[in-house]
């Protein structure tokens, strides 16, 4: 068996990684700049223009920790904040995760399993989708992958340094995205199984060993400065209700269909449905065959990989049941998607190496997975960053392009709400600067960053009209009729809408008529 502390790469290793990383990069970069930056990404783009202290301060009013935004600020200082510069950091985190997973799998399960892991990771539709988004999800994948490898090494050959490094990575993960806690819980469950003893007392004593406590202390030290803000966020934002809907009978089937094909389960019909069901069934069957072929050390690693592939979505689902607040979103457990690919790859590789196992079902299962991945990538390219949570397309970019084409000279653009403003502001130009109205004053969340923005905030629409004369309002389609009622001194010149795609937004050109005309 290969030594688990071998980090060197042979020519074959380098070739596999170069090809795999090239495939992942080409797929992601080919679609990265095509779609409009949506609210979450626009929030990322806006917050990084503040200093590091203010980034942490504004993040504390929102729902996430600040570490990703700090790294994004550093990245865009080098590469700019255009769509590629903003989004490419997510691709880099994914590529780093693939590299670590390759070494991890190679050292424990051999080069065939590692090569298949790279193939499935590079073509995973969900990983492709979120390698194109300026958010923290692939960064959490990298941190968790590295922490998992360190945990396995620390369990095999314990040293103080390994346990401290593991604890630091847990803390860093929590400072990147709170839902990494579902994976840390999986680590706890796996460790509890691996160190179990004949009695409960002995099992608890073995679990909370000095080394394990040392890792917990390291985690607390890393997180200590942020803990008060974490508590505040839980009480004031998550505790008060949030946008995430309740889990249902559709939640897990939807997760599985997205994992393989990026289609929601209610879009999966006919042969696509059969293919997904057969693929999952074959993976479960083959995993039982593969597990029996492994020695004790490899079984331990296999249990950890399978555990991370399976348990985080279940833990997050259980944690979304009453009286707790819903928190299940597919992208929050993106690391489980990555480990599902690794679990599949290891299973297929072990079965392919065993002569006593029929080869054609294994090859068929692998081919089915790759076919589903191709279908999924095609669908990611087709719909882009379509918001599956509220069933809407992000269309600010094409609407802004339409405004620029239809405008005669410079005209400002006013966003109906602060939420739309984030997207409009990212795409503003010197000809079309972005503004928002001051009456949108949400007490918590992203609005805190806009509270003191005196340059963009419109307090007096009459004064604004006197200055500019004409302006464009970007509003939701159901708000067009009531717009003039809210602005009695303005007159509608025309309304633009996108005809080539489904959009909830409209561009309304308004002319300021003056106070006297409304009397």
Average pLDDT for the chain: 92
Q: Which of 383, 411, 432 delimits the end of a domain?
A: 383
CA-atom Rg of the chain in angstroms:
25
Does the residue 424 lie in any domain? Answer: yes
Q: Are residues 343 and 413 in the same domain?
A: no
Q: Are residues 306 and 413 in the same domain?
A: no
Q: Are residues 375 and 402 in the same domain?
A: no
For residue 32, what pLDDT band results from cuts at 50, 70 and 90? very high
Specify the pTM: 0.94
Does the residue 5 lie in any domain? Answer: no
Does the residue 68 lie in any domain? Answer: yes
Does the residue 117 lie in any domain? Answer: yes
Q: Are residues 379 and 461 in the same domain?
A: no
Q: Are residues 417 and 349 in the same domain?
A: no
Q: Where in the sequence is the domain holding 264, given as residue range(s)?
A: 11-383
Give yes or no for residue 443 having a pLDDT over 70. Answer: no
How many structural domains is the chain composed of?
Answer: 2
Give every strand in the sheet of 413-415, ordered side by side.
457-458, 434-437, 413-415, 470-476, 505-512, 490-496
Contact indicator for 75, 85 with CB cutoff of 8 Å: yes
What pLDDT is attached to residue 240?
57
Q: Are residues 68 and 157 in the same domain?
A: yes
Does the residue 3 lie in any domain? Answer: no
Q: Are residues 365 and 410 in the same domain?
A: no
Q: How many helices (H) and strands (E) does the chain have?
A: 22, 6
pLDDT in tens, 167-192: 999 999 999 999 999 999 999 999 99
Give yes or no for residue 2 having a pLDDT over 50. Answer: no
Structure tokens at 33: 């700049």
Does the residue 6 lie in any domain? Answer: no
Q: Return the half-sphere exposure (C-beta side, CA atoms, 13 A cut-off) of residue 339.
A: 27
């Amino acid at each position: 068996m290969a030594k688990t502390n071998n980090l060197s790469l042979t020519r074959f290793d380098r070739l596999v990684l170069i090809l795999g990383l090239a495939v992942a990069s080409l797929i992601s970069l080919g679609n990265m700049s095509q779609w409009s930056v949506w609210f979450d990404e626009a929030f990322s783009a806006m917050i990084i223009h503040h200093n590091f202290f203010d980034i942490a301060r504004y993040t504390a009013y929102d729902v996430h920790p600040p570490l990703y935004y700090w790294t994004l600020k550093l990245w865009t200082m080098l590469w700019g904040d255009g769509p590629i510069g903003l989004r490419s950091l997510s691709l880099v985190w994914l590529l780093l995760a693939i590299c670590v997973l390759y070494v991890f799998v190679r050292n424990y399960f051999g080069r065939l399993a590692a090569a298949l892991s790279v193939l499935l990771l590079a073509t995973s539709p969900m990983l492709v989708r979120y390698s194109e988004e300026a958010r923290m999800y692939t960064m959490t994948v990298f941190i968790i992958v590295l922490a998992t490898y360190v945990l396995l090494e620390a369990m095999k050959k314990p040293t103080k340094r390994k346990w401290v490094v593991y604890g630091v990575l847990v803390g860093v993960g929590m400072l990147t995205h709170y839902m990494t806690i579902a994976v840390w819980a999986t680590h706890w469950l796996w460790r509890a199984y691996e160190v179990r003893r004949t009695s409960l007392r002995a099992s608890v004593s073995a679990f909370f060993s000095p080394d394990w406590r040392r890792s917990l202390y390291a985690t607390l030290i890393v997180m200590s400065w942020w803990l008060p803000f974490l508590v505040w966020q839980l009480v004031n934002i998550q505790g008060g209700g949030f946008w995430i809907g309740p889990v249902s009978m559709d939640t897990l089937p939807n997760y599985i269909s997205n994992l393989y094909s990026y289609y929601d389960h209610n879009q999966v019909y006919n042969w696509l449905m059969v293919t997904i069901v057969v693929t999952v069934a074959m993976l479960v069957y083959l995993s039982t065959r593969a597990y029996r072929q492994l020695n004790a050390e490899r079984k331990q690693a296999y249990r950890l990989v399978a555990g991370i592939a399976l348990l985080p979505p279940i833990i997050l689902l259980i944690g979304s049941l009453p009286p707790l607040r819903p928190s299940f979103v597919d992208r929050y457990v993106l690391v489980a998607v990555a480990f599902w690919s690794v679990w599949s790859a290891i299973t297929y590789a072990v079965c392919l190496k065993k002569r006593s196992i029929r080869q054609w079902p294994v090859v068929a299962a692998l081919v089915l997975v790759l076919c589903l991945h191709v279908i999924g990538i095609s669908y990611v390219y087709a719909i882009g960053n379509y918001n599956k949570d509220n069933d809407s397309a992000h269309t600010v970019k094409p609407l802004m392009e339409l405004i620029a084409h239809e405008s005669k000279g410079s005209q400002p653009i006013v966003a109906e709400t602060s939420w739309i403003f984030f997207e409009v502001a990212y795409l503003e130009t010197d000809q079309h600067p972005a503004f928002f109205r001051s009456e949108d004053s949400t007490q918590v969340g992203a609005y805190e960053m806009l509270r003191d923005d005196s340059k963009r905030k419109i307090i007096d629409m009459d004064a604004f009209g006197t200055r500019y004369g004409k302006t464009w309002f970007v509003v939701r389609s159901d708000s067009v009729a009531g717009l003039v009622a809210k602005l009695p001194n303005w007159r509608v010149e025309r309304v633009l809408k996108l005809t080539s795609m489904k959009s909830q937004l409209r561009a309304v050109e308004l002319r300021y008529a003056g106070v006297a005309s409304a009397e």
